[in-house]
């Protein structure tokens, strides 16, 4: 597996996003299955694991601490603050006093003394980003965090934050159908010697062939509210998926592997963190596909911004994030 740098760490270019083991995509797997998957990931060689205080309102961090805390030396641990569950609701709160409390709660759940990479999960627009990043810098000084990052931010916000403390990584959505980072953050992270950590690099299961109908999603599945997964957008996007799958078949890889190869080809500083609840997909994602440049170009030309039906977020969610956005036609 190709190694890439994230701040002071060298990690495999494919990491593991742990959110789906506790959160967001309907009913999570049984705990014993999640424990087996996490340990299998480490056995395979995954060495960069990503969680957050938000996921399962703390349950995901607790899962990691209990399932693989005894193997802490085997992986670089990333978590996030600034967006948590309060009284059963998701709350964005970037006040320094909140972040400084959250880190101690996360350390306890994760059964560790230090988090390797700690992100501001969302910029709380009621708090200057410099103040929130200043709180994270204090965590580094206290030895509770080794490096800090940001999530779902623009290049301008990244540069403001970087002036306060070096930013090791920006975690934004990036896949062949979500390419907003190409409007600024992809180049800004390279310029600042920061990693770009691509979440949802398989498009929330879309490029794994896991999405067939808008009626398949459970009540608690966040894709129910995402325009690209709703009619008539989904039907149009599924036509594109069939063409994408044909490219992958001809190249001798799965659509998920083609999507991951495409993401990693976008820069030497890009790392991908697909998530899964499937042992089969866990192994598939970690098996690099040798995809020729001309095949990557075919995928690139197929999945243009104009070809994708629907924005990636509903309007209310879009208002909460800071990433650059393509103008809708």
In 252-309, where does DSSP find H-type helix?
Answer: 255-264, 279-285, 293-302
Could you write out the DSSP letters of every residue in 4-41? EEETTEEEESB-EE-GGGTSSBSSPPPHHHHHHHHHHH
Tell the burial category of 307 from Cβ atoms under 10 Å away from its Cβ (0-12, 13-18, 19+): middle
Active site residue 119: no
Residue of 46, 55, 75, 174 marked catalytic: 55
Asked if 202 contacts 253 with a C-beta cutoff of 8 angstroms, the reply is: no
> How is residue 112 written in tokens?
């560790």
| Closest CA relative to residue 193, chosen from 223, 167, 212, 215 | 167
Could you write out the DSSP letters of every residue in 130-156? HHHHHHHHHHHHTTSEEEEEEES--HH
Q: Please state, in angstroms and rounded to a whole number, the distance separating the CA atoms of residues 326 and 305.
A: 8
Q: Please state, in angstroms and rounded to a whole number, the distance separating the CA atoms of residues 47 and 41.
A: 8
Within the chain, what is the greatest distance between any pair of CA atoms? 54
Q: 3-class DSSP state for residue 175?
A: strand
User: Which residues participate in catalysis according to the annotation?
Assistant: 55
């Amino acid at each position: 597996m190709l190694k890439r740098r994230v701040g002071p760490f060298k990690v495999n270019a494919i990491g593991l996003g742990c959110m789906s083991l506790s959160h967001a995509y309907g009913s999570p797997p049984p705990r014993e299955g999640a424990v087996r998957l996490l340990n299998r990931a480490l056995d395979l060689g995954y060495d960069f694991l990503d969680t957050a205080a938000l996921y399962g309102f703390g349950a995901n961090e607790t899962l990691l601490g209990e399932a693989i805390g005894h193997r802490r030396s085997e992986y670089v641990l990333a978590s996030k603050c600034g967006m948590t569950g309060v009284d059963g609701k998701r709350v964005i709160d970037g006040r320094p006093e909140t972040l400084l409390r959250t880190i101690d709660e996360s350390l306890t759940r994760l059964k560790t003394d230090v988090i390797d990479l700690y992100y501001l999960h969302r910029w709380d627009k009621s708090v200057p980003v410099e103040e929130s990043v200043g709180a994270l810098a204090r965590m580094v000084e206290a030895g509770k965090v080794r490096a800090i990052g940001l999530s779902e931010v623009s290049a301008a916000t990244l540069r403001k934050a970087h002036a306060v403390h070096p930013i090791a990584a920006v975690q934004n959505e990036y896949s062949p159908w979500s390419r907003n980072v190409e409007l600024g953050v992809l180049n800004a992270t390279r310029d600042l010697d920061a990693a770009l950590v691509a979440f949802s690099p398989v498009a929330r299961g879309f490029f794994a062939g896991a999405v067939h109908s808008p009626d398949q999603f459970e009540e608690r599945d966040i894709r129910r509210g995402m325009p690209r997964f709703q009619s008539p957008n989904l039907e149009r996007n599924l036509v594109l998926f069939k063409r994408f799958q044909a490219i992958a078949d001809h190249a001798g890889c799965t659509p998920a592997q083609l999507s991951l190869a495409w993401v990693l080809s976008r820069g030497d500083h890009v790392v991908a963190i697909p998530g899964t609840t499937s042992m089969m997909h866990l192994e598939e994602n970690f098996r690099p596909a040798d995809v020729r440049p001309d095949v990557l170009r075919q995928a690139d030309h197929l999945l243009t911004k104009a070809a994708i039906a629907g924005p990636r977020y509903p309007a209310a969610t879009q208002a909460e994030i800071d990433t650059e956005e393509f103008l809708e036609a």
